[in-house]
C-alpha cells in the first residue's frame, strides 16, 4: 500500500491509520477519502484502525472509463477489505458511499463486518417513479447535474458545494475556503466517473439489499438535506433495516460531516464502541 490493484487492474489509493478494530469509511460524490479526515483522525486517536480509500475514478485512484456500477464498486470494496485483512469491521458510507455498504451487504453477505453506518446516505432509492413517489425527479440528475458539469464543471461544483453545506444568502455554516476545498477535491475526479456515478447513485434501487443488513446500523441524516432528502433516504432506510438506529440532525444539510463534524464524530465513536 497505499495502492491496491483490483481484479480489473484499477489502482485504488488507500489510507490506513492507527491500530485496533477496523473502521472503513466510504466517501461521497464527487469527493475522495480526504473528506473523512476529521472523523478518521478522531477514530484513529481513539484506538481504532481507520481505512479509507478513493473510489475508482476519484482522487488519487485510477480513472478507468467503465466500472462505476454498484456491483463493481462493491467488488472494489471487497478487495480492499481482503487486501487490508480487516475483520470485525464497522463499515460507514457517506452519501453515495452508503450504496456501496448496501450492495456489499447483499453481494458479500456482510463478510467481515460487525456494524454499519449510513451517513446522509442515498440508500434505499432516490429516483422518483411509480414505486417511489417521494423520490427525486430524473431531470435533476440529467438537467441540473450532468448537463452543467459538461458545460462548466468548476462552476457547477461551486454551486453544488453551497447546497451541499447549506450555504444561504445571509449566513453560511462553512467558510468560503471550505467551499473552495470541496471544488478542489471534486476536480480531482475524472470526468467519465464523475458523470457515470450520477446515474449510479441517482438511479440504483437498493430496496432489495436492505434485508441483507444483519448487523447494528447507525443512520444519520440532516432534516434540511437538499441533496438527498431525509424522507426519501434516511427515514426510508431506517424502516427497512431491522437493526437500524436513526439519528436526525435537526436543520443540518447534506454535508454534516463538516457542518456538524464534532457531533458526528462523537456519535460515530459512541456507536463503534458499542
Annotated catalytic residues are: 95, 225, 254
- E strand or H helix at 184, and its extent? helix 176-187
- Of 185, 165, 188, the C-alpha closest to 175 is 165
CB 178 within 8 A of CB 96: no
Partners of 1 in the β-ladder: none
Question: How many contiguous H segments (helices) and E segments (strands) does the chain have?
Answer: 10, 8
- In this structure, how many other beta carbons lie within 10 angstroms of the beta carbon of residue 45? 12
* Residue 41: burial class (beta carbons within 10 Å; 0-12, 13-18, 19+): middle
The DSSP code for 36 is: G
User: Which cell numbers in the block locate residue 78?
Assistant: 471487497
Counting other chains too, the contacts that 4-7 makes at CB distance below 8 Å and 24 or more residues apart are 4/53, 4/79, 4/80, 4/83, 4/84, 6/56, 6/75, 6/76, 6/79, 7/75, 7/79
Q: How many Cα atoms are found within 13 Å in the side-chain-facing hemisphere of 106?
A: 17
User: Which cell numbers in the block locate residue 137?
Assistant: 425527479
Partners of 117 in the β-ladder: 92, 218
The DSSP code for 167 is: -
Amino acid at each position: 500500500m497505499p495502492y491496491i490493484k483490483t481484479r480489473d487492474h484499477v489502482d485504488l489509493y488507500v489510507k490506513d491509520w492507527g491500530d485496533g478494530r477496523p473502521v472503513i469509511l466510504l466517501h461521497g460524490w464527487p469527493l475522495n477519502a480526504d473528506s473523512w479526515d476529521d472523523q478518521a483522525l478522531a477514530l484513529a486517536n481513539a484506538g481504532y484502525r481507520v481505512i479509507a480509500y478513493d473510489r475508482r475514478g476519484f482522487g488519487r485512484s485510477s480513472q478507468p472509463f467503465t466500472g462505476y456500477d454498484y456491483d463493481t464498486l462493491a467488488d472494489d470494496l471487497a478487495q480492499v477489505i481482503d487486501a487490508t485483512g480487516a475483520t470485525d469491521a464497522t463499515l460507514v458510507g457517506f452519501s453515495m458511499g452508503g450504496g456501496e455498504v448496501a450492495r456489499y451487504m447483499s453481494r458479500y453477505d456482510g463478510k467481515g463486518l460487525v456494524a454499519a453506518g449510513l451517513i446522509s446516505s442515498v440508500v434505499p432509492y432516490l429516483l422518483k417513479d411509480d414505486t417511489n413517489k417521494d423520490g427525486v425527479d430524473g431531470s435533476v440528475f440529467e438537467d441540473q447535474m450532468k448537463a452543467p458539469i459538461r458545460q462548466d464543471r468548476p462552476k457547477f461544483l461551486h454551486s453544488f458545494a453551497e447546497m451541499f453545506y447549506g450555504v444561504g444568502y445571509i449566513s453560511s455554516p462553512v467558510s468560503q475556503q471550505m467551499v473552495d476545498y470541496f471544488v478542489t477535491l471534486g476536480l480531482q475526479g475524472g470526468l467519465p466517473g464523475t458523470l457515470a456515478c450520477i446515474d449510479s447513485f441517482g438511479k440504483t434501487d437498493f430496496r432489495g439489499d436492505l434485508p441483507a443488513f444483519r448487523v447494528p446500523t447507525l443512520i444519520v441524516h440532516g432534516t434540511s438535506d437538499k441533496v438527498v432528502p431525509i424522507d426519501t433516504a434516511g427515514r426510508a432506510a431506517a424502516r427497512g433495516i431491522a437493526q437500524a438506529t436513526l439519528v436526525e440532525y435537526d436543520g443540518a444539510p447534506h454535508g454534516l460531516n463538516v457542518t456538524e463534524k464534532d457531533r458526528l464524530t462523537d456519535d460515530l465513536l459512541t456507536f463503534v464502541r458499542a
